[in-house]
Structure 1
Amino acid sequence: MLVAIGSPLVGIPILLLAVAGLWLMRPGRTRYRIRAPRRPARISRPRTASISGYQAMTPGQFEHALADLCRRDGCTQVRVVGGAGDLAADVLATTPDGRKLLIQAKRFGPNTTVGSGDVQKVNGTYRDIHHAQLAAIVTTNRFTKDAEALARRVGIRAYDQHRLASWASRTGPAPWQ
């Protein structure tokens, strides 16, 4: 290289090549990668569409379907106890971490909502009568604002149609999580 410096016609191109080579080999330089083709975007569907099967069930079938979801997600000692005189309990189960869970199922049509009276009934029985540590009300529709506020205040899990759809499709948590 020292010989080439003596001749500008040879030295300058060699110097430029050396500087360019050092620049290309510098640390932290971004290297181009071959990337896998992108997956097509998922078509988002309304979450309520996946509960149409639940809405078509009878109340008794809905209770059994919720019991099946509990079993699927690791609950044991799952019993459907709904019916006349059930004292606000439709499904009783033991969660995977050992807590006793009470579920009140409300399979309602599109124009019926869960009101604060339903939350009050569950709150009045789940601890003292059924000896449960957790309670959830699961509906195929929605809760009134008063019912949501009361459930939040007393620690009852309120699962409306959207949360039910998430639980059923495994994209959201189960009521005991």
Structure 2
Amino acid sequence: MRAVDPAGRVWAIQCKHRRDGDRGSAVGVGVLQQVNGTARQIHGADIALVLTNGRFSSKAIPWRKEHRIHLVDRRKLGEWAASSRPLWELLDRIPPPHVIQPPCPESPSAALDAREVPAGQRNAAGAP
């Protein structure tokens, strides 16, 4: 899944369901390698995330650190569901929000109003 948060960060999210939850098979390095190969290069993600209702293998934990992939297991998923906080506040080392610079007042594009731009040509925030 590809998503854009209110701060303009692009997320690539892979969800893995485990029928037996924590007692089932762990999500391994292979899944993380797939996400690592597509999240940034294909989806342009700032944040790569793998989420599961189960657990991650012992090899997946150190591997994700080397490759900047965030993991949300059953415990973290429960913590998120029980709180009123957005997920990015529960994760470590999330990149800072994108800063969108307003156009220079002398620029001809400064007079361009977003309402004049067709919807397909606006960014995720609705700006041209």
- TM interval, shorter chain, is 0.5 to 0.7
Matched, 1:149 2:59: no
Q: Give the Cα separation in 2 of the matches to 1:161 and 1:172.
A: 17
Q: If you compute each CA radius of gyration, which structure gives the higher value, 1 or 2?
A: 1
Gaps of 5+ in 2: 92-128
Identity %: 34
Q: Give the Cα separation in 1 of the matches to 2:86 and 2:27.
A: 21
**Higher RCO structure (Cα 8 Å, ≥6 apart):** 2
Q: Give the Cα separation in 1 of the matches to 2:84 and 2:66.
A: 26
> Is 1:114–1:144's contact at 8 Å kept on the other side of the alignment?
yes
Aligned Cα root-mean-square deviation (Å): 1.7
Matched, 1:92 2:35: no
Please list the CA deviations of residues 143-175 of structure 1 after superposition, one character each: whole Å capped at 9, or x if unmatched.
Answer: 001111111211111100000111122266514
The total of aligned residue pairs comes to 87
Q: Give the Cα separation in 1 of the matches to 2:67 and 2:85.
A: 22
**In structure 1, what is the equivalent of residue 99 of structure 2?**
none
TM-score (norm 1): 0.46
Q: Give the Cα separation in 2 of the matches to 1:101 and 1:132.
A: 5
Q: Give the Cα separation in 2 of the matches to 1:93 and 1:127.
A: 13
Moved over 2 A (4+): none
**In structure 1, what is the equivalent of residue 75 of structure 2?**
162
Matched, 1:107 2:20: no
| Cα 1:171/1:104, change in 2 over 3 Å | same
Q: Give the Cα separation in 2 of the matches to 1:97 and 1:139.
A: 24
Q: Give the Cα separation in 2 of the matches to 1:102 and 1:171.
A: 22
| Cα 1:171/1:145, change in 2 over 3 Å | farther
**In structure 2, what is the equivalent of residue 139 of structure 1?**
52
**In structure 1, what is the equivalent of residue 37 of structure 2?**
124
Q: Point out the structure with the larger helix share.
A: 1
Please list the CA deviations of residues 108-147 of structure 1 after superposition, one character each: whole Å capped at 9, or x if unmatched.
Answer: 1221210000001000100011111101100000000111
| Cα 1:175/1:112, change in 2 over 3 Å | farther
